[in-house]
Chains A and B, each alone.
Chain A
C-alpha cells in the first residue's frame, strides 16, 4: 500500500517541478495533469484499502472537472497568445506590482 502512496508522492513532485520550471504555458498545463493524476492514484489506493466506493466516485468527478479545466485553460492560452503574441509564461506579467 505504501508503495502506491509513495509512487503518487513522487509523481506529485515531478508534477510540481514541471509546473514551476516549464516556460511554455501548455507545458505548465501538462504538469498540472501530472499533479491531478497523482492525486487520483492516491484516492483510488485509499478506496481500495478502506473498501469504500466514495473514493472512486470522487475520482470520477475529478476527472470530469479536469477535462473542463483543460479545455478552458487552453482557450485562455490561445487568447493570451493573441494578445501578447507569445506563450512564454515568463513574459506574461500583466499582474506585476
Chain B
C-alpha cells in the first residue's frame, strides 16, 4: 500500500483501539458512551480509506447520530430514576479477559495463515452506484423487509416503553 494511506491507517487504528479500550474500561458510563462515539467516527474514517464512501456517511448519520443519542437518553432515564452513579466493575474480568484474549489470538493466527490477494487495486467502478442499483434489483426484497422491520421496532419500542395507563 502507498505510504500515505498506510500512515492514515495506522493512526486511525491506534486511536480506534484506544477508544475501544475506553468503552470497555471507563468507569463512568457517560465516558464510555463518548468513547463509543469516537470509535464509530473513526470506523467511518476507515471506511473512507476503503472507498466505501456511502457506507461511511450512513455510519456517521445513523450510528453516531442516532444510536449514541438513544443510549445517552437511556442512561439519563435510568440513572435519574436510581439517583446514583452506577458502578461498572464485574467479578468476571479474569474469565472475560482470558477468553477474549484467546479469541483474538486464534483469529489473528488464522488470518496470518491466509494468503490474501493483491490488495492494491480497490474498486474500479463507482461502488455507490452499484449499491443503489443493487437495492432496487437484487436486494429489493430485503430492502422492503427492512422498512417493515424498522416500523415494527418503532412500534415495539413505543409499546414496551410506554407507562401503563392504569398506574
Which A residues fall within an 8 A CB radius of B? 1-7, 9-18, 20-24, 26-27, 29-31, 33-34, 37, 40-41, 44-45, 47-51, 53-54, 56-57, 59-61, 63-72, 74-79, 81, 85-88, 90
Contacts and interface: CB of A to CB of B under 8 A. Distances in A.
Contacts of A61: 142, 146
Given A18-B24, A21-B90, A22-B88, A48 B50 contact: yes
A27 B26 CA distance: 10
Interface string B144-160: 00100110111011001
Interface of B: 9, 13, 16-17, 20-21, 23-24, 29, 32-33, 36, 39-40, 43, 46-47, 50-52, 54-55, 58-59, 62-63, 66-67, 70-71, 73-75, 77-78, 81-82, 86-90, 92-93, 95-97, 99-101, 103-104, 107-108, 111-112, 114, 116-117, 119, 121-125, 127, 130-131, 134-135, 139, 142, 146, 149-150, 152-154, 156-157, 160-161
A81 B157 contact: no
A26 B103 contact: no
13 contacts: A6-B108, A13-B103, A20-B95, A33-B67, A34-B23, A45-B50, A48-B119, A56-B54, A63-B62, A72-B156, A78-B160, A87-B86, A88-B86
B107 A12 contact: yes
Contacts of B156: 72, 75
A72 B24 contact: no
A57 B86 contact: no
B101 A65 contact: no
A84 to B, nearest CB: 11
B43 A23 contact: no
Q: Which 7 residue pairs of A and B lie closest in terms of their CB atoms, listed nearest first?
A: A13-B104, A53-B130, A68-B153, A20-B96, A1-B119, A75-B160, A9-B107
Contact of B131 (A48, A56, A66): A56
Contact of B149 (A26, A68, A77, A79): A68
Nearest to A24: B86
Contact of B100 (A14, A71, A81): A14
Given A13-B100, A17-B100, A21-B93, A2 B77 contact: no
